[in-house]
A and B are shown apart, each in its own frame.
Chain A
């Protein structure tokens, strides 16, 4: 087993890995940037080396400095966490080149999954379904018509040079195809100077569901079931849960097997996640991509399966076989996680950096909080503004939601804005409670919120008793501050006069 691991990350994930190291009696060492000299992950580590200035390109992304730190500290292995260098094949090679173990898959698997084209090819070879689509531009309307018939409607027309929704057209039936084909082409020409378009099968109400897989260096492959991550904002996951509210054992088995085959095809070792799109109505699933690292949302899988994925990652990297077999994996209850960010939900989720003046973290039955900050910490402008991941476990999804709602209400952060108020609304939302999730959830939720605000406007919108209490607290605060201000002034005057009194006799005695 390793004696010392260098953690090439910061924030909550560095803290999470430090804890797993402590469990295994491994000494945790960390790297940090100049901005993080007093950060929680540094204070919790046994050893720490500064690898550069605040901007991550000059510190946490500096491969040479990180590997050199590991060498100087005589670490046996490097854990990259997620983000930063976690999916950088060059880093994995540099770590191996320095004679250290990399806690993650081999560089080759990372490279295959790092490109959309090669990842899709690998998935197809492994027999996994991918979203049917043409890779070559359509040559004519007849070409479009034939391909659309082959895929089945609805289909999506997309500009080859595309992006930002321009040149994109959803076609529900064949009668709409001709006009959609022509507008998509002219839009693409106008927007990108290139009228080439291609066609893809459209997935209605797609759910984002991913499978956690694990493999060791002895050829064992398992899957730990799914996580549903359909609640996304700007393609960023916001809430994740395990299992999916669909909770279909057959679907889990089919998707799990597909994911394991993909991992096997690239000789995968360690923890990985295979992402799929699932059509809400038909439950057909399609390969999206594979993340060759530990995911942010891994705690929900841990809560439901009982396994410690980071501990397992370390064991596997040290050459041990997996500590469990596929048939030993059971899914008990339900877990939901919220990513709490220093962002202002009332102000278009603008980042809200600053000093955390007050922090009360929730606790109690079924609650797990993976945090990376303490009271007094500075949320800096340089890094991802996630403060913590709050997860709740319950025997049923309803019980998990009850606990999550309670914990979100208990969670208090002062000095900065957070996304907590946004989550407090989501866990009370009917569609969320009913598990009606797909990637359009946040957009519909925001529309419902606007309507709700419009309806309550005029009728004051808030509790009058609480408003009165707030006014009293504000006035009381003002009065207290005025009083201490005037007391300080009086003290100043008293001190001045005492000086004067002391000074006068001195003057007199001189004369």
Chain B
């Protein structure tokens, strides 16, 4: 199977073939043969020669598009694309029309709304403040634009993944 893996802003072509517990991978044309064991729950034990790598694959908490792979104490954020399916494997956070959603990274309560609908904001400007675990977290705009929507009012309870605001 051929896939594209995006990691730290770089794309890598990946082709992998399974032959029992052997996995033959071609990464950007480099051949790497490993022994892979699926231990369940996204845990894999990979051996490259005699080197052992304990890997855990999790959904990323920051972005719906990527996954997080822990290799020992190192964490890698990877976005996989299956060219056959002609779309990203997971929901996109940024839309093709150039708008961006500000998504609650955790459940909490809205304690302040800084920007009003229709206001112009710069990248890094605070939009909405969510309180969780007695800490106030200012959610900032990732880009310059206009506030197209503020979806919650002060006092509202929000869940992780809720779209708090939309910037165009």
User: A residues bordering B, Cβ < 8 Å?
Assistant: 344, 347, 350-354, 357-358, 381-385, 409, 412, 414-417, 420-421, 424, 460-463, 465-480, 482
Contact = CB atoms under 8 A, between A and B. Distances in A.
B89 A466 contact: no
A417 B160 CA distance: 14
Given A354-B61, A381-B132, A475-B25, A466 B72 contact: yes
Given A468-B27, A469-B55, A421 B106 contact: no
A420 B72 CA distance: 13
13 contacts: A347-B62, A382-B133, A414-B56, A424-B73, A466-B74, A466-B76, A471-B5, A471-B14, A472-B25, A473-B71, A475-B80, A476-B23, A476-B36
B107 A381 contact: yes
A467 B7 contact: yes
B48 interface: yes
B89 to A, nearest CB: 7
A236 B82 CA distance: 45
Given A471-B14, A477-B44, A421 B75 contact: yes
A473 B71 CA distance: 9
Q: With a 10 A CB-CB cut-off, give which of B53, B82, B108 has the most chain A CB atoms.
A: B53
Given A352-B106, A382-B133, A477-B44, 20 more contacts: A350-B106, A350-B135, A350-B137, A351-B135, A353-B106, A358-B41, A358-B43, A468-B27, A469-B34, A469-B48, A470-B55, A471-B78, A472-B36, A473-B36, A473-B57, A474-B69, A475-B25, A475-B80, A478-B1, A478-B82
A66 B160 CA distance: 32
A472 B26 CA distance: 9
A472 B23 contact: yes
B132 A353 contact: yes
Contact of A475 (B3, B43, B53, B106): B3
B38 interface: yes
Contact of A466 (B53, B58, B107, B135): B53
B118 interface: no
Interface string B99-123: 0000001111000000000000000
B54 to A, nearest CB: 8
Categorize the interface residue count of chain B: 35 or more
Minimum-distance CB pairs A-B, first 7: A473-B55, A470-B76, A470-B69, A351-B133, A477-B57, A381-B132, A469-B53
B76 A467 contact: yes
B32 interface: yes
Interface string B27-61: 10010101010100111101010000101111001
B69 A473 contact: yes
Contacts of B36: 472-473, 476
Contacts of A351: 106, 132-133, 135, 137
Contacts of B89: 478
Contacts of A421: 73, 75
Nearest to A415: B58
A353 B78 contact: no
A381 to B, nearest CB: 4
B78 A470 contact: yes
A454 to B, nearest CB: 15
Given A347-B62, A354-B61, A480-B38, A472 B46 contact: yes
B146 interface: no
Contact of B106 (A354, A383, A414, A465): A354
A463 B8 CA distance: 13
A107 B21 CA distance: 66
Interface in B59-96: 61-62, 67, 69-76, 78, 80, 82, 89
Interface string B126-153: 0000001111010000000000000000
Given A353-B132, A479-B1, A474 B78 contact: yes
Contact of A479 (B16, B72, B75): B16
Contacts of B38: 476, 480
A468 B137 contact: no
